[in-house]
Amino acid sequence: MLVELVGVTKFPRSPWLAQIRTPFGGAAVRWCGDQAAKPGKYDVEWTVDEDITWGQNAKSAVGSGPEVRPGGHCVVLRGRLNLTVDGAAMLELDGTQVLLDLTDPLPEGIAGTWVELFIERVRVALYPYDL
């Protein structure tokens, strides 16, 4: 996914954080690229390093369409939740698939719907890559 990097910052006892913008919102998340990266557009892979537990850090979305926004110390990711044939969970975020680890099976009828994930910003990571 193409994101706009606004800047990279380091706070005490925190990993490097990137302030990013997308066409559907922005937030600060963990940056796993060059710490001296200049502002600009970067192709990135998203990861979520937190187990998803329905009703705790995941719920049905109020709206539809992808969204990334700050939520206090969390990042809110809104996307369509899908299951693969082998039972893996994926969040579709504007055409990008983000692999998720579930603590329990999803409730009946949730697969294929719009959901919101509330993830600590240091557990959402961006890995830039060159095409």
Write out pLDDT tens, residues 43-60.
999 999 999 999 999 999
User: CA-CA distance, 12 to 22, in Å (whole number)?
Assistant: 27
Q: How many CB atoms lie within 10 A of CB 70?
A: 15
Domain that holds residue 6: 2-129
**Which pLDDT score, from 0 to 100, does residue 13 have?**
86
Q: What is the DSSP letter of 124?
A: E
pLDDT > 90? residue 8: yes
How many domains, the chain? 1
Question: Does the CA dihedral 14-127-22-75 come out positive or negative?
Answer: negative
User: CA-CA distance, 39 to 77, in Å (whole number)?
Assistant: 22
What's the pTM? 0.93
Q: What is the DSSP letter of 44?
A: E
Mean pLDDT value across the chain: 94
**Which pLDDT score, from 0 to 100, does residue 14 have?**
85
**Which pLDDT score, from 0 to 100, does residue 90 have?**
96
